[in-house]
Structure 1
Amino acid sequence: MASNSSLITNNRKRIYYAPKYWQFDPIYQTNVKLFIKDLLNLKTVQFIEGSKITHGFFYGNHPIQEVDIIATVTAFDINEGKKYTKYTLDDGSATIEFTDFKNEDGPILEPKFDRGTVIRVIGKIKDYNGKREIGNSYGRMWTEKDPNAELLRWLEILTLKKDVYSRPFILPKRTTTINNVSDVEEVPPISEVPESVPNTSMSSSRIFERMKNSDNQSSYTEEAFTDLITRYIYKNNLTRFSIVRIRQSPELNEFAKKVAINQYPCPKPNGRQVAALFAKALRLLVLEGFLNYGDYHKISYCVDLLFVDMVREWKVQM
């Protein structure tokens, strides 16, 4: 698709601004953090300005220039003649190739990173020989030593998608004054706005806190019990479940009994007290936006769409 105008649309009426306007989108000035599967699905749009042809990559209608990803090296290929190493990177959603060019003289004898290494890379997104890849010529790649880096990045991306990337780029009105007469140039609004993400009060960082806090089970409180349920959902890759499924866990039942003992002056809690703790914890996760009710009678639950991919993909390190 090509255009000589300041903006173009596709057949779904989404507006893409020409390159001269990209600088006004704050996202264009950043190293965009997305899943690899998102990078592979970026839309390519062609612009014609005079004799110049420019291609742009878009997430929604946001122009994307540089990306920042955390992924695991699954393969590498050294090209000694052209002095670059091509790495295959996997972040759990898809794979993409990352080309690291060597600036110094001399052949490349070994890769910077071996297979299985978790690394962070920053580079420009591009298409080469019909394939989407990331290019780097400035050595912006590092080993990630934090064992929680991949999980934290997933949480960060989900938050950015909800709070930033889902909002369309709309160029503001421009006002010029000639001979004391104000002239307002109207820029057409976006005609297609992405579906809004359900409003949720639970931040991604709070999810990670629940996961982390569940390792410390020395404090038998309702908050600690809710943390443990959250971890149980992730550990078992649950995206839709009944309350019976949760109640069948020996680990959760034992913890709930200890919470009840702390709350009630009795040596042995009864079934009603334990059931009330389960119901309260699940209701809290619904209020926070992590869970939704799965049926009219509120006896089944489903993970909110904002977090469901992370539950399916993330593997808990036990």
Structure 2
Amino acid sequence: MESLHLVHIKILAADLLSLTAQPTSPPSFLRCGRTVARAEIVGVVVSRDRREKFLRFLVDDGTGCIPCVLWLNHQYLNANNSSRVSDSDPTAEMALKMSEEVRLGTLLRVRGKIAVYRGAIQITVRDVVLEKDPNVEVLHWLQCVRMAKECYDFPSSAQQAS
């Protein structure tokens, strides 16, 4: 079984939301028999809920809405192994800057880890990019279809030989 867990696969919402979750720790997901862990999506922000520790938002790519969560309280362990938030943590600063890009109606490219929360698939956001060219969404759809056809959905040549 070939694994795609090291790359952000370009995927449409309908396909992402239909992934099969495996009961492993951490959870893994299967797409046509291949393990996937990270995804890249492109769509419009249709919902936004900012809290102290996270930003939850929905991205609609035309095939469905994908729940995304961007954690704003990046923590580290200090010398005493106690967890605390750093005021000068560059990761926290980047997360806050990315959260400012997430506004209703904006077209975004989101990459992150596929996760399950309360039984539903979501993306734990790694990075957010504001897209200024409206053609990016259609190009992403075409890339998703091409990648599914050529890479994700067909068994590898080694599997075909067996």
Q: Which residue of 2 aligns with 1:115?
A: 104
Shift of 1:134: 0.3
Structure 1 SS opposite 2:138: helix
* Sequence identity (%): 27
How many angstroms apart in 2 are the aligned matches of 1:79 and 1:170? 47
- Residue by residue over 1:47-89, the C-alpha shift from the partner in whole angstroms, topping out at 9 and shown as x without a partner, is 5xxxxx5532011011111001101000100111xx1100111
Larger Rg: 1
Structure 2 SS opposite 1:28: coil
For residue 12 of structure 2, the aligned residue among 19, 29, 35 is: 35
* Residue 79 of structure 1 pairs with residue 51 of structure 2: yes
* Residue 67 of structure 1 pairs with residue 39 of structure 2: yes
* Residue 144 of structure 1 pairs with residue 131 of structure 2: yes
Letter in 1 for 2:115: K
Q: Tell me if the contact between 1:42 and 1:57 (Cα under 8 Å) persists in the aligned partners.
A: yes
Shift of 1:112: 3.3
- Residue by residue over 1:24-69, the C-alpha shift from the partner in whole angstroms, topping out at 9 and shown as x without a partner, is 63x332210111110110012235xxxxx55320110111110011
| RMSD, aligned α-carbons | 2.5
For residue 142 of structure 2, the aligned residue among 146, 149, 155 is: 155
Q: Which residue of 2 aligns with 1:92?
A: 62
Residues 32 and 115 (structure 1), Cα distance of their counterparts in 2 relative to 1, 3 Å cut: same
Higher relative contact order (CA 8 A, sep 6+): 2
Q: Tell me if the contact between 1:121 and 1:142 (Cα under 8 Å) persists in the aligned partners.
A: yes
More strand by share: 2
How many angstroms apart in 2 are the aligned matches of 1:35 and 1:95? 10
Structure 1 SS opposite 2:40: strand
How many angstroms apart in 1 are the aligned matches of 2:9 and 2:63? 16
TM-score (norm 1): 0.40
Structure 2 SS opposite 1:44: strand
Shift of 1:131: 1.4
How many angstroms apart in 2 are the aligned matches of 1:85 and 1:29? 25
Q: Which structure 2 residue ranges, 5 or more long, are not aligned?
A: 75-85
Aligned pairs (5 A) from 1:235-246: none
Shift of 1:166: 1.8
Residues 114 and 84 (structure 1), Cα distance of their counterparts in 2 relative to 1, 3 Å cut: same
For residue 127 of structure 1, the aligned residue among 116, 124, 141 is: 116
Aligned pairs (5 A) from 1:219-258: none
Number of aligned residues: 140
Shift of 1:170: 7.1
Q: Which residue of 2 aligns with 1:56?
A: 28
Letter in 1 for 2:148: K
Residues 55 and 151 (structure 1), Cα distance of their counterparts in 2 relative to 1, 3 Å cut: same
More helix by share: 1
After TM superposition, the structure 1 stretch with the greater mean CA deviation from structure 2, 156-165 or 61-70, is 156-165
Shift of 1:132: 1.0
Q: Tell me if the contact between 2:101 and 2:129 (Cα under 8 Å) persists in the aligned partners.
A: no
How many angstroms apart in 2 are the aligned matches of 1:54 and 1:76? 27
TM-score (norm 2): 0.76
Structure 1 SS opposite 2:27: strand
Q: Which residue of 1 aligns with 2:77?
A: none
Q: Tell me if the contact between 1:62 and 1:169 (Cα under 8 Å) persists in the aligned partners.
A: no
How many angstroms apart in 2 are the aligned matches of 1:129 and 1:158? 29
How many angstroms apart in 1 are the aligned matches of 2:145 and 2:60? 18
